[in-house]
Chains A and B, each alone.
Chain A
Amino acid sequence: MRIRKLATTAMAGFLLLAASACGGDGGSGDGSTAQSGAPKTLTYWASNQGPSLEADQEILKPELDRFKKETGIEVKVEVVPWADLLNRILAATTSGQGPDVLNIGNTWSASLQATGAFVPFDDALLGKLGGKERFLGPSLAATGAQGQPPAAIPIYGMTYGLMYNKKMFADAGIDGPPKTWDELIESGKKLTKDGKWGLAVEGASVTENAHHAFIFGQQHGADPFDASGKPQFDSDKQVAATKQFLDLMAVHKIVNPSNAEYGNGTQAVQDFTSGKAGMLMWQSIASSAKAAGMGEDEYGVAPIPLPDPAQGGKQVNGMVAGINLAIFKSSKNQDAAVEFAKFMTSKQTQQNLNKAYGSLPTVNDGYDDPAFQTEHIKAFQQILATTAAPLPQVPEESQYETLVGTAMNELFADVASGKPVTDAQIKAKLTEANEKMLAGS
């Protein structure tokens, strides 16, 4: 009796499976046809750029209202935290059930491009946005694999800088921002006292850790992938770079061990804006500083110290960071989505939003506003234009970020709990990441 029932169940299961598989095939075809008419609503996943998800909603709201007034299209926005964004995008790609338009970290462009989930911005489409020439070179380079039309268009330009608290520096008797790595450590040691720390890091953030691994790796001359595209995460140079970063907490003790717990992308910034830490290596923090009541003149932006040219490596102290906007192929509102992309890259919106976030406009005509001539913005601009390197635009990039970032999380956890972390241990962790990368491809 039981056996028969099992057999029937299994049989019915197979039939349904066959039916659903067919349904899946048929469904993917009609996604890209645009539907016209009637009041339109777009769904938009925005990345978390401000101090909180709510703050982002508030910053975006006036712009989206303006968009509705101009075009009659309503935009339903959801701000997705960084820790979830990539997984959410993947799930949406797999199921075909996602938003119409979304923000992506620009380093993921090539990876997500490979899924074919996004509408490619070919010359015709870019023409509608004012042409390729409108966009900034470095930002446009981080939109997908070379030789292919961009999978997404840049909307906020960013890179890493070293923020420092001017008052804390003055109190500790430090003249200005550190110019070399040794000076950074020395300043950090002077700042570390009375429950305050030299530097804040986001030790449990996969994304931040991966970016720092990349930047310091470049300084040591390490590339995540070799010329043939093979991963080489565990090169000796990369081990040295990782150690240099971890030692800020492990050896020099200028980073609060508690930072190894920070992972949601806002805690290290809060430590800096609340004066618990004197320095921060971060992308723009303008909106967070404003929300915390920290005036723009209270902190400075300097380049992260470059390595001594004599020791080799590359003169890199930032990465080409930023946010790109992509359109899902499965969106039923292609026309409205293009309209929205046009709006987000328009001069007015670019100026308003980049001003609010303290990021850089990604279109050349956005810079005629005096708001982008400030000291901070100019410092970021200078770094982005001269000493920032783009992360490799290869399909495996986001796996690289996740694997190496996770390895760094674990290493930070070891450091924080007082375990000695040696070159061999770092190497072993990175080798594990490398093997996982190879097993997945």
Chain B
Amino acid sequence: MVASTTPRPGARRASGSPEGGPPRSGGGPGRVAALIPVRLRRLGLPYLLILPAIVLELLIHVVPMLVGIWMSFLKLTQFFIRNWSAAPSAGLANYEIAVDFDSAVGGSLLRSFTVTVAFTVLAVGLCWLLGTAAAVLMQGGFRGRGVLRTLFLTPYALPAYAGVITWSFMFQRDSGLVNHILVEQSGLLDERPFWLIGGNSFAALLVTYVWRVWPFAFLVLMAGVQNISGDLYEASAIDGAGWWRQLRSITLPMLRPVNQVVVLVLFLWTFNDFNTPYVLFGRSAPQEADLISIHIYQSSFVTWNFGSGAAMSVLLLLFLLLVTAVYLVATSHRRTRA
């Protein structure tokens, strides 16, 4: 705004307007009046067109978010949940409880946060790795490619509940398919391990989640791979580059902008994931697989103190905003330098 109303020649170049801007009549008192219709014509229509989107965005995202922030400052217990406006203010008490890591509430929040970080790093890494590998391997045309591609995308097309509940049956100790294969069929293990409780639950959750989400990475990266011009590969082949060299010097660098988005989106989804642990473990997720979203949900229902749950959600939101900002700054910086 400020930059565009001060039409200094140098400023325009710095703001990097791609279309170069309209030719502006110089000097005189009529300059501002002449400018308005042009600006309206230029700016009014686009804003009008995105207005429905803005309204919906406000209704669906921003307002509930603000309500959540407001709730986090209230002592919203069972005595007030029918009429929130009567709930007394809690000041910062909800936040103090959440960040007091010596207390039971804060301590378990911190533990859940740690679990979530580990889970996110592994899940995003695996999804990205599988997605890239599949996308690159399916770059060339071969018989059955379409069938394979459809097969790969099936987990993503299935309703989350249907997929995850099937996994939860497979992970049951006595009647599950996983233990049947590990113990009875292959004899790899003597004792039937637990998958839905205890330490293995983390692995069970990870496998289920990666199975469910990696097709997204595959889908997007496949589109990215197909956009890379075949000329580059031909030219490099003439120069004697092998497959590995092509992958490192052409495919991966050309995928960088796609990767930037895919990794960010995967990170945000994974960190916030609620459906997978909720369907897999039911009402109480084991501590080893207690992802932060489900932890917050459970702890608000456990104590019926929804203000405290809201405060934890706000902290989560701040953390995610911070990570996203740092990530975007870091990756954009690297791209402009490259």
Interface residues, chain A, with chain B CB atoms under 8 Å away: 1, 4, 9-10, 12-14, 16-17, 20-21, 24-25, 28, 83-84, 86-87, 90, 93-94, 96, 111, 114-117, 204, 206, 256-258, 260-261, 263-264, 329, 395, 398-399, 402-403, 406, 409-410, 412-414, 416-417, 431-437, 439-441
Complex interface bits, B277-318 against A, C-beta within 8 A gives 1, otherwise 0: 000001110110000000000010111111010000000000
Identify the closest chain A residue to B80 (Cβ): A115
Check if B103 sits within 8 Å of A16, measured CB to CB. no
Check if B66 sits within 8 Å of A402, measured CB to CB. no
Identify the closest chain A residue to B107 (Cβ): A432
Check if A16 sits within 8 Å of B58, measured CB to CB. yes
Contacts of B66 in A (CB 8 A): 13-14, 17
Identify the closest chain A residue to B69 (Cβ): A17
Check if B284 sits within 8 Å of A416, measured CB to CB. no
Does chain A have a CB within 8 A of B173? yes
Check if A9 sits within 8 Å of B301, measured CB to CB. no
Q: List 16 A-B contacts (CB under 8 A).
A: A9-B54, A9-B58, A12-B54, A12-B58, A13-B58, A83-B283, A86-B301, A111-B78, A114-B78, A116-B79, A399-B302, A414-B198, A416-B198, A436-B299, A437-B303, A440-B305
Contacts of B284 in A (CB 8 A): 204, 206, 263, 406, 409-410
Task: Report the bound CA distance from A17 to B61 in whole Å.
Answer: 12
Of B82-90, B215-223, B235-243, which binds chain A?
B82-90
Does chain A have a CB within 8 A of B104? yes
Taking the closest CB of chain A, its distance from the CB of B313, in whole angstroms, is 15
Range for the number of chain B residues in contact with chain A: 35 or more
Instruction: Give me the 9 closest cross-chain CB pairs, A-B, nearest first.
Output: A440-B303, A435-B104, A413-B197, A417-B198, A440-B305, A13-B62, A432-B104, A83-B283, A258-B173
Task: Report the bound CA distance from A263 to B197 in whole Å.
Answer: 11
> Could you list 20 further interchain pairs (A-B, Cβ under 8 angstroms) beyond the known A16-B63, A261-B172, A395-B79?
A9-B54, A13-B62, A21-B85, A24-B85, A87-B283, A111-B304, A206-B283, A263-B282, A263-B284, A329-B82, A403-B303, A413-B194, A413-B197, A413-B198, A414-B198, A435-B103, A436-B105, A439-B97, A441-B303, A441-B305
Task: Report the bound CA distance from A115 to B108 in whole Å.
Answer: 27
Task: Report the bound CA distance from A237 to B65 in whole Å.
Answer: 45
Identify the closest chain B residue to A112 (Cβ): B78
Task: Report the bound CA distance from A435 to B173 in whole Å.
Answer: 33
Does chain A have a CB within 8 A of B199? yes
Given A115-B81, A117-B82, answer yes or no on A263-B303 (Cβ-Cβ < 8 Å): no
Identify the closest chain B residue to A111 (Cβ): B78
Does chain A have a CB within 8 A of B77? yes
Taking the closest CB of chain A, its distance from the CB of B2, in whole angstroms, is 9
Taking the closest CB of chain B, its distance from the CB of A204, in whole angstroms, is 7
Which of chain B's residues 157-197 have a Cβ closer than 8 Å to chain A? 172-174, 192, 194, 196-197
Given A94-B81, A116-B82, A439-B103, answer yes or no on A13-B63 (Cβ-Cβ < 8 Å): yes
Contacts of B104 in A (CB 8 A): 431-436, 439
Identify the closest chain A residue to B303 (Cβ): A440
Does chain A have a CB within 8 A of B327? no
Identify the closest chain B residue to A271 (Cβ): B174
Identify the closest chain B residue to A19 (Cβ): B63
Contacts of A441 in B (CB 8 A): 77, 303, 305
Complex interface bits, B1-38 against A, C-beta within 8 A gives 1, otherwise 0: 10110000000000000000000000000000000000
Does chain A have a CB within 8 A of B59? yes
Contacts of B299 in A (CB 8 A): 436
Taking the closest CB of chain B, its distance from the CB of A414, in whole angstroms, is 7
Contacts of A437 in B (CB 8 A): 303
Taking the closest CB of chain B, its distance from the CB of A398, in whole angstroms, is 7
Task: Report the bound CA distance from A256 to B306 in whole Å.
Answer: 38
Identify the closest chain A residue to B83 (Cβ): A28
Does chain A have a CB within 8 A of B147? no
Task: Report the bound CA distance from A416 to B194 in whole Å.
Answer: 8
Task: Report the bound CA distance from A116 to B80 in whole Å.
Answer: 9
